[in-house]
């Protein structure tokens, strides 16, 4: 089988390709990536010479290029996106271009080339924000209430993808997943930013009161979920994917990272809050568990430590990215 994976030089996409090449040794994976600030060939170095892997530098908005690749593929898995909420507050233009227009371009090509499966990698942020005190969780029936330009662009993409199922019978599936962590995540995002700051002896900037809650999931668990949905998910369906019900606040998570790195609370610095900051995400993943047998396997405490160790041992990967990522915040 030939798969087009878009955004495969990013955090989750590169982990997904590594995972797929190991498990599906007869498949060919073509990685189409524009190599924006978030795409790093260094994240694909360990499999770049695999005979079942091919890299193409390009934009998902380039219809001729996309058609050329899609015509040889059975499956499209779309990871390509502008993915950082803070950047969408600073300038939302690339979010509209890639997350909406780019998805539209992929869908048109998938339709024309009669693709067997179009899988859209989406986010729990499309559902908006939960109250801290509420026991509610997002599920497949939750109303879409995106609150950042990033989340709104992903929500628009989900609607487009669904519309291609209903209108053109395009065989689509969607996963809406919670926050991922693990190796090869860009140091702009919370966990790698804090680990790399601390490894450099610097403080960690916690937004606002730090009582924001996320439903952390190890990236390999997300890759397993996407694999199951591609292979056995029901066409036209959406699946919510989330962590092990250990909802932790940013402050609690920060303290865990400090503890692993033997640092004290003096390294915490509260700074001004993100505008429109979503208070809480929590995902009910009963459907994918019931229908496909997926559940998260990787424990947060253990794999947070693994992740810290990965950054400790892979300074060569993140050091060149750090100056750029910190200049964004300045
Ligand atoms: P990322 O920012 O690390 O990677 C995005 C990749 O897409 C980069 O390699 C970038 O170069 C590429 N890209 C961007 N615009 C492109 C374009 N126009 N054409 C081709 N390639 C382009 O993102 P990530 O964290 O790996 O997220 C991957 C996907 O998963 C995104 O769609 C995101 O919305 C979704 N998601 C992320 C998380 C998370 O916690 N990171 C959780 C749920 C869903
Ligand atoms: O929920 C899934 C989403 O998770 C994905 O769709 C996004 O692509 C991904 O970036 C992530 O979004 P968040 O906004 O939750 O992730 P981020 O790492 O930017 O921030 C996590 C939390 O930490 C959030 O409450 C903001 C806070 N934060 C973040 C940074 C970078 C800080 O307190 N300080 C920081 O320096």
Where are the domain boundaries for CATH 3.40.50.720 in the chain?
2-180+218-241
pLDDT digits (tens, 9 = 90+) for 170-223: 999 999 999 999 999 999 999 999 999 999 999 999 999 999 999 999 999 999
Of 15, 214, 242, 247, the one to substitute when testing ligand 2's pocket (max ligand atoms within 8 A of C-beta) is 214
**Ligand 2 within 6 A of CB of 217:** no
- DSSP secondary structure letter of residue 280: B
Residue 197 CB–ligand 2 contact under 6 Å: no
- 0.85 exceeded by pTM: yes
CATH class assigned to 2-180+218-241: alpha beta
Supply the DSSP string of 271-304, one letter for each residue: EPPPTT---B--B--HHHHHHH-----S-HHHHH
| Cβ atoms < 10 Å from Cβ of 211 | 13
Closest Cα to atom 3 of ligand 2? 179
**Distance between Cα 28 and ligand 1 center (Å):** 21
CATH 3.90.25.10 in the chain, residue ranges:
181-213+245-281+299-324
CB 111 within 8 A of CB 164: yes
Catalytic residues: 124-125, 150
Torsion from C-alpha of 131, 151, 143, 168, nearest 10 degrees? -170
The best mutation among 79, 93, 160, 221 to test binding of ligand 1, ranked by most ligand atoms within 8 Å of the C-beta, falls on: 79
Rg of the chain on CA atoms, in Å? 19
Task: Return d(Cα 151, Cα 179) in angstroms, integer.
Answer: 13
Q: Residue 132, Cβ neighbours under 10 Å: how many?
A: 12
- Asked if 62 contacts 121 with a C-beta cutoff of 8 angstroms, the reply is no
CA distance 290 to 314: 38
Average the pLDDT over 87-100 and give the result. Answer: 98
Q: In 145-232, where does DSSP find H-type helix?
A: 149-168, 190-199, 219-232
Q: Does domain 181-213+245-281+299-324 have CATH number 3.40.50.12780?
A: no
- Look at 80-89, 206-215, 217-226, 240-249 and tell me which has the smallest mean pLDDT: 240-249
Ligand 1 atom nearest to 83, measured from its CA = 2
pLDDT in tens, 1-41: 999 999 999 999 999 999 999 999 999 999 999 999 999 99
Contact assessment for residue 73 and residue 119, using Cβ atoms and an 8 Å cutoff: no
Q: Give the pLDDT confidence score for residue 246 in this predicted structure.
A: 81
| CB half-sphere exposure, 171, CA atoms < 13 A | 15
Return d(Cα 82, Cα 308) in angstroms, integer: 25
User: Does residue 37 sit in helix, strand or coil?
Assistant: coil
Distance 164 CA to ligand 2 centre (A): 30
Q: 94: Cβ–Cβ under 8 A, 6 or more apart, which residues?
A: 36, 82, 87
Nearest ligand (C-alpha, residue 180): 1
């Amino acid at each position: 089988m030939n798969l087009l994976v878009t955004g495969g030089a990013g955090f989750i996409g590169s982990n997904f390709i590594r995972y797929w090449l190991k498990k599906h040794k007869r498949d060919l994976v073509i990685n189409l990536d524009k190599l924006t600030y978030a795409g790093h060939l260094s994240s694909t170095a360990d499999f770049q010479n695999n005979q079942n892997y091919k890299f193409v530098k390009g934009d998902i908005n380039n219809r001729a290029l996309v058609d050329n690749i899609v015509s040889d593929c059975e499956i499209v898995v779309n990871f390509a996106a502008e993915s950082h909420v803070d950047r969408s507050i600073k300038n939302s233009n690339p979010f509209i271009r890639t997350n909406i227009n780019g998805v539209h371009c992929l869908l048109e090509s998938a339709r024309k080339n009669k693709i067997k499966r179009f899988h859209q990698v989406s986010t729990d942020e499309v559902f908006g924000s939960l109250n801290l005190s509420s026991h509610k969780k997002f599920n497949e029936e939750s109303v879409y209430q995106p609150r950042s330009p990033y989340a709104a662009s992903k929500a628009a993409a989900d609607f487009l993808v669904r519309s291609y199922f209903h209108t053109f019978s395009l065989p689509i599936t969607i996963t809406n997943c919670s926050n991922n962590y693990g190796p090869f995540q860009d140091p702009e995002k919370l966990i790698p930013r804090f680990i790399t700051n601390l490894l450099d002896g610097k403080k960690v900037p916690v937004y606002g009161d730090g009582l924001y809650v996320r439903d952390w999931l190890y990236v390999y668990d997300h890759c397993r979920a996407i694999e199951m949905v591609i292979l056995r998910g029901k066409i036209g369906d959406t699946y919510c994917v989330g962590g092990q019900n250990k909802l932790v606040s940013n402050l609690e998570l920060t303290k865990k990272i400090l503890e692993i790195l033997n640092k004290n609370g003096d390294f915490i610095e509260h700074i001004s809050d993100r505008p429109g900051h979503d208070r809480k995400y929590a995902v009910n993943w009963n459907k994918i568990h019931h229908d496909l047998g997926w559940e998260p396997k990787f424990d947060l405490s253990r794999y947070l430590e693994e992740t810290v160790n990965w950054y400790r041992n892979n300074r060569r990967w993140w050091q060149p990215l750090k100056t750029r990522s910190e200049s964004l915040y300045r």
